[in-house]
Structure 1
Amino acid sequence: MKRTIRTTLLTTGALIAALGVPTTAAHADAPAPRIDLRVLIVSDGGPSTDAIAAELDTAGTPYTEIDLARADRPVIDAEYLADTVDGRERARFQAVVLPNDNPFPANSPEMAALVAYERAYDIPQVDAYTYARPEAGLQYPVYGGYSGSVDGARAEVTAAGRSGPFGYLEGPVPFEDNSPTVGESYAYLSTPVAGADFTPYVEAPIPGTARRGSLVGEYRHDGRRELVVTFVYNRYQQQFRLLARGIVRWMTGGVHLGASRNYFAVHVDDVFAADDRWNSTLNCTPGDVDCTDPNATPDPIRMTPADVDHATAWQREHDFTLDLAYNGAGSVDHREDNNGVDPLADKFVAERGAFRWINHTYTHAFLGCEQDTTVVPWRCATDADGSTKWVGRDDLSDEIAHNRVWGRIAGLPLEDGELVTGEHSGLRVLPQQPADNPNLAPALADNGITWLASDNSREPGQRQVGAATTVPRYPMNIFYNAGRAAEQVDEYNWIYTGRAQGGSGICEDNPATTTCLPAPLDTATGYTEHIVPLERQIALGHVLANDPKPHFIHQSNLAEDRIAYPVLDGVLTTYDTLFAENTPVVNPRMEDIGSELRRRAAWRAAVQSGQVTAYRIGGTVTVEGPDGMAVPATMPEGTTRAGSPFGEAYAGERSGWTSSATAPLTLTLPSSAASATAGDADGSVPVTRPAPDTRVPEGVAEPVAPAAGS
């Protein structure tokens, strides 16, 4: 085992003076220093520092990253860390993230500069993934601790964690175990060194003992504060996603730019219409343009009034609202075929206030190019000169307007600016249609459409289509053509097994497909034992990643076996076991999601182009940015703006977007957050050799396999 060396070099004051770092402690009458709201991340290229950077990026929290492997990187010295602005001392970073407790060579002047800086300005340090050792406040694992896999372990937030930075969690922090053949989580479990000022925030059982070891804890020593993390993770893993908010809260003291929520929205397409059923003999869907067998007979799936009752009861149970994307022609056609009767539409209209409603076009027509279905797969029809034939502007506009009128007559509570086209058609579809229908943008403008749904598996980024902005939606791998679990499994087997097993061979043609199966699933058990857990995990991953994009399923999935509910139940029930009541799932409608994504993009561009400056002086936070820019921020409870409470309460903090402003934004912190003091220094400075190489398991760099097409 590699040992570390600890020597006492200088007293704190002497060290700070030697390095040229200002110290407010030496000048009691000096004005309070300015602390810039920016995080310094020192990366070794490992997944843990990358995960923290990704968390800050998604929330909109400014940071500077230094890659230790780059020869042209800046040198971390006193001048890099601090300076003076307008006669006031400035700390350029509010927190420091290191790959471990000391990633530099022995006697490194860079580590010494960081130590002095952290002491002078009470700047916290996160050790993103470090070995348990006395220099980090912990016993070596060989002394009654543990080094090894924690796949499937159940960690717990301690009482100190719940009353501190992890107070948004209910308690359990389960570690993933997605594959018996891949090591996904490696950890060092240990207990604090005798006499160390170490507070465990997250612990797990030490195998073979009745004791628990720290996975995340705070170590106070030598006038510094470190958050010591002793397990490896990546940005996708559930255990990190659960703890990420608390890591950021700890290192920023709950005062930072950027904001995050746990979002979950579910769109149900094709309401009032019927979805054609998968045919397990033909391995295609009769009624679909690519199912050309002359003997294929469509077998439609359509909800019943009892399914509506189930949906409304389910919503009440979970305090959750589904967004129903409807096609009015589905009801009109049904009445024509059934002597003017449509009990489903009547029931939905009677319960219309229980749901949110989105225009999904009147007939669910394909609104891109005119499709030539004489070949499989279909292609765009062309004129004699070879130019593409497009669905016309009037036809597009009629589909939108007619459905809106039908919904208004039915009394559906609509937002006129929202639209989901059938199959997201009109937008480009590769490989057949590489460009948008040129008539789409004018038709959207004709009808005042401002938010247009797109398929996240095709276009994960938001973009403009004329005056409208897209809202990417995650397709759940619950098929539109399945009303029964056995049908879902049969089609799943066809898609994701090899040709020798009777499958489509897509996995042989495209080895990158992530949901491939080694063998067909049992049609009786495969849905509940394989598909449901996987889809639940993927969707929950989006929820925990501050990702507001909606998911979409189809009305067929709420009919017959109601196969969507086990997945949705799994997401919401699991969430409730993990999070405290102060951190509810946020369930926004489509226009709010679009606005959130658009504001984020504008904010990210402003931060990356250096147009945003933010700092804290004592109990005042000041943010300067482009005129009219909305600012996302997270602050402690009690923070005010112009005398009024700032933001909204969420996860034990105040956070949200400010309204646009032309003057600098000023926030006043509560007195409890306005006076942070550094810990006492004992005069000794740890100078250590690099930590032992922290082991990165085989599977840690890979995200959970996403759903096909997601």
Structure 2
Amino acid sequence: MKRTIRTTALVVGTLLATVGLPTAAAQADDPAPRVDLRVLVVSDGGPSTDAIAAELESAGTPYTEVDLEDTGRPVIDAGFLTDTVDGRPRAKYQAVVLPNDNPFPTGSAEMAAIVAYEQTYAIPQVDAYTYARPQVGLNAAVGTGYAGSVDGVRAEVTQAGKAGPFGYLEGTVPFEDNSPTVNESYAYLSTPVAGADFTPYVQAAIPGRPTMGSLVGEYRHDGRRELVVTFVYNRYQQQYRLLARGIVAWMTGGVHLGADRNYFAVHVDDVLAADDRWDTELNCTPGDVDCQPGEGTPNPIRMVPADVDRATAWQDDRDFTLDFAYNASGTVDHREDHGGQDPLADKLVADRGRFRWINHTYTHAFLGCVQDTSVVPWKCATNPDGSTRWVSRNEIADEIATNEAWGVAAGLPLSRDELVTGEHSGLKVTPQQPEDNPHLGPALTDTGIRWLGSDNSRDPVQRRVGTATTVSRYPMNIFYNAGREAEQVDEYNWIYTARAQGGSGICEDNPATSTCLAAPLDTATGYDEHIVPLETRIALGHVLANDPKPHFIHQSNLAEDRIAYPVLDGVLGGYDELFAADTPVVNLRMKDIGVEMQRRAAWRAALDAGQVTAYRIGDSVTVRAPEGVAITATMPTGTRHDGTGFGAPYAGAVSGWAFAEGLPYTLDLPVSAGTAAEGDGSGTPAPTLAPTNAAPRTEVPSGVEEQVPYGAER
């Protein structure tokens, strides 16, 4: 039988002395401790601790990871956790993340050191995924609770959760159920032990019982605070993405480096131009390079004025702004062919202030190598000496400058340093053109371009090209050559089914393709029933991942059947159902997204190089970063720097970027932002098992797969 103990001054004092940390009596006259703004993540290789580490990485929050399976790892003892700086005791970590409540062997000195550290410095602990059991303040799930699949369950945030770390959520936390044949989520649902100081933050109904069971809750005991999570998850799953921000807010008390916001921007390419249409008989696009020369009859898709009215009305309804990437030759050619008339261009110019505009080059010409389209797929034309023939610097500059001049004359609210080339051409495209056109960078410099759109599926990392920095864009799987739902489904079937089913066979040749179909979709219903939910889930996954990269579609998708709107409505409508009003979607234009990505890269490089220090002493936070590197932080509302409010409000906190120019940057926290509560707050201490009793290993249960959503690597 495992021994139980009560939290008494004698027991705690003995434990502190045993592991080498100062006792409360010894600290009575000591200065206030320094707590470094860094998280300790102790991992067992499981998906849950990996997910929390990924959230910290994405936000730019410093952390140290200790892999329990690494035989060369450091030993976690008092010296690893604490030291003294300038005569002041220092806690090296503001929070501790463990795979479960105690992943160490029974009687472990390392767990004893962690317990003493948490008690001494009021350091919170996250149990990334643990069983419901009395050691974490919950009744065992067997008997009165539930252990099993929670696929499709709609959990709810409790009032305590809304008043606390999960106040940015509207109230429900839906668990994914993407496949009827795969168990995606497993959980232990249980109620708190009688007398335990346990507060559920997220809970769900226990099947077959009239009670709710905790999925995420806070357990206070022995002068410690634990966030107890009793469901397994990975970094991609929606339920975790919804809760990740709150887990970090809880463990840091809302005071940490880094920031997490939910971004969504949509670029509409080829505005003013017309897009070639998919031929459902030929399974190619006449007029484009996937059809043999002269094959089929082009039947282009182009918006009409009513489509502009629909776009403006949709924006007003969604409080969202689209970015229109335009090709001016589309209207110049149209007027030449229609007696000088172009109602679409007239309407767009009249409503120009309703949208953001991006230069997409004048004719949408391919600006990489000179294409040899006499073969399918095309290849780069070569010079007599075998070298690649490139589109010239002057030709590229002319495409950019001529389009810009038309936009300026039309009064478009352009940001003249932004550019998206047609098909992202000029940049490398494999396999035909594995390097950038060497004339692209100089032409961008000639025309003052600083931000250049790139295709995330083939060029995901931000980089410099001449004076420009790339901004990777996510291609939505809504095809440029489809104006009708049936066309979209037909092409989708062609791409993603087997040759024996009349498809292209791409999935047979590339089994890792994530959108493969077991059978063709019904052209009448497949768009709404399969493509829309899938594309919505993929895009919403990007939004919830603190990922500012824009998505792109084409003007054809706003015409005819207007097939883009069901997906866009799915993303924004689904978002509104999940988040409170103080956590809106952040809708930035391309250059601002580029700046955000650039700052993140510099910040991450400084963190990786050990050039950032940050700590809290009482109600003051001090941050040091290299000159020229912007600092990013999330703080409680009311935080000030030199008497001025810090950051901008988001999700119940304030966050933002600031430049310290190599000097210490200080933040004064509001009085309400106290340190983690000392003691367990329970009045009468509840019985708990000794912290040296290890938890059962929290592995992913048999049959539960770590779902990565379709397109996560796109």
Q: For residue 24 of structure 1, report the CA deviation from its aligned partner.
A: 5.2
Q: Distance in 2 between matches of 1:215 and 1:48?
A: 14
Q: For residue 191 of structure 1, report the CA deviation from its aligned partner.
A: 0.2
Q: Secondary structure at the match of 1:14?
A: helix
Q: For residue 25 of structure 1, report the CA deviation from its aligned partner.
A: 5.8
Residue 198 (structure 2) aligns with:
198
CA 698–402 in structure 1, closer or farther in 2 if over 3 Å, else same: farther
Residue 219 (structure 1) aligns with:
219
Q: Distance in 2 between matches of 1:659 and 1:554?
A: 38
Residue 548 (structure 1) aligns with:
548
Residue 706 (structure 2) aligns with:
701
What is the letter of the counterpart of residue 690 of structure 1? A
What is the letter of the counterpart of residue 272 of structure 1? L
Q: Distance in 2 between matches of 1:695 and 1:553?
A: 38
Q: For residue 62 of structure 1, report the CA deviation from its aligned partner.
A: 0.1
* Residues 213-222 or 135-144, more deviating: 135-144
In the TM superposition, what whole-angstrom CA distance separates every residue of 1:622-664 from its partner, at most 9, and x where no partner exists?
A: 0011112210000001100000100000000010111352311
Residue 575 (structure 2) aligns with:
575
Residue 93 (structure 1) aligns with:
93
Q: Distance in 2 between matches of 1:165 and 1:210?
A: 26
In the TM superposition, what whole-angstrom CA distance separates every residue of 1:484-523 from its partner, at most 9, and x where no partner exists?
A: 0000000000000000000000000110101000000000
Residue correspondence of structure 1 range 623-642 to structure 2 within 5 A: 623-642=623-642
**Is the contact made by 1:129 and 1:232 (CA closer than 8 Å) also made in structure 2?**
yes
* Residues 665-674 or 112-121, more deviating: 665-674
In the TM superposition, what whole-angstrom CA distance separates every residue of 1:445-497 from its partner, at most 9, and x where no partner exists?
A: 00100000000000111111121100000000000000000000000000000
What is the letter of the counterpart of residue 218 of structure 1? E
Residues 1:470 and 2:475 aligned together? no
In the TM superposition, what whole-angstrom CA distance separates every residue of 1:224-279 from its partner, at most 9, and x where no partner exists?
A: 00000000000000000000000000000000000111000000000000000000
**Is the contact made by 1:40 and 1:93 (CA closer than 8 Å) also made in structure 2?**
yes
Q: Distance in 2 between matches of 1:702 and 1:145?
A: 25
Residue 320 (structure 2) aligns with:
320
Q: Distance in 2 between matches of 1:130 and 1:358?
A: 49
**Is the contact made by 1:24 and 1:121 (CA closer than 8 Å) also made in structure 2?**
no
Runs of 5+ in structure 2 lacking a partner?
none
Q: Secondary structure at the match of 2:633?
A: strand
Residue correspondence of structure 1 range 237-276 to structure 2 within 5 A: 237-276=237-276
Q: Secondary structure at the match of 2:673?
A: helix
Q: Distance in 2 between matches of 1:295 and 1:631?
A: 57
What is the letter of the counterpart of residue 711 of structure 2? P
Residue correspondence of structure 1 range 138-287 to structure 2 within 5 A: 138-287=138-287
**Is the contact made by 1:286 and 1:296 (CA closer than 8 Å) also made in structure 2?**
yes
Q: Secondary structure at the match of 1:96?
A: strand
Q: For residue 137 of structure 1, report the CA deviation from its aligned partner.
A: 0.4
What is the letter of the counterpart of residue 132 of structure 2? A
Residue 40 (structure 2) aligns with:
40
Q: Secondary structure at the match of 1:570?
A: helix
Residue 394 (structure 1) aligns with:
394
Q: Distance in 2 between matches of 1:516 and 1:235?
A: 23
Q: Secondary structure at the match of 1:524?
A: coil
Normalising by structure 1, we get a TM-score of: 0.98
Q: Secondary structure at the match of 1:267?
A: strand
CA 373–61 in structure 1, closer or farther in 2 if over 3 Å, else same: same
**Is the contact made by 2:115 and 2:691 (CA closer than 8 Å) also made in structure 1?**
no
What is the letter of the counterpart of residue 195 of structure 2? G
**Is the contact made by 1:258 and 1:634 (CA closer than 8 Å) also made in structure 2?**
yes
Residue 686 (structure 1) aligns with:
691
Across the aligned residues of Structure 1 and Structure 2, the Cα RMSD in angstroms comes to: 1.4
What is the letter of the counterpart of residue 408 of structure 2? R
Q: Distance in 1 between matches of 2:287 and 2:314?
A: 31
What is the letter of the counterpart of residue 687 of structure 1? T
Q: Secondary structure at the match of 1:594?
A: helix
Q: Secondary structure at the match of 2:630?
A: coil
What is the letter of the counterpart of residue 231 of structure 2? F
Q: Secondary structure at the match of 1:11?
A: helix
Residue 62 (structure 2) aligns with:
62
Q: For residue 676 of structure 1, report the CA deviation from its aligned partner.
A: 4.1
Q: For residue 699 of structure 1, report the CA deviation from its aligned partner.
A: 5.3
Residue 73 (structure 2) aligns with:
73
Residue 410 (structure 2) aligns with:
410
**Is the contact made by 1:7 and 1:686 (CA closer than 8 Å) also made in structure 2?**
no
Q: Secondary structure at the match of 1:673?
A: coil
Normalising by structure 2, we get a TM-score of: 0.97
Q: Secondary structure at the match of 2:649?
A: strand
Q: Distance in 1 between matches of 2:506 and 2:472?
A: 25
Runs of 5+ in structure 1 lacking a partner?
none
**Is the contact made by 1:286 and 1:298 (CA closer than 8 Å) also made in structure 2?**
yes
Q: For residue 341 of structure 1, report the CA deviation from its aligned partner.
A: 0.3
Residues 1:565 and 2:565 aligned together? yes
What is the letter of the counterpart of residue 116 of structure 1? A
What is the letter of the counterpart of residue 502 of structure 1? G
Residue 364 (structure 2) aligns with:
364
Residues 1:489 and 2:489 aligned together? yes
Q: Distance in 2 between matches of 1:289 and 1:169?
A: 47
Q: Distance in 1 between matches of 2:658 and 2:25?
A: 35
In the TM superposition, what whole-angstrom CA distance separates every residue of 1:352-380 from its partner, at most 9, and x where no partner exists?
A: 00000000000000000000111111110
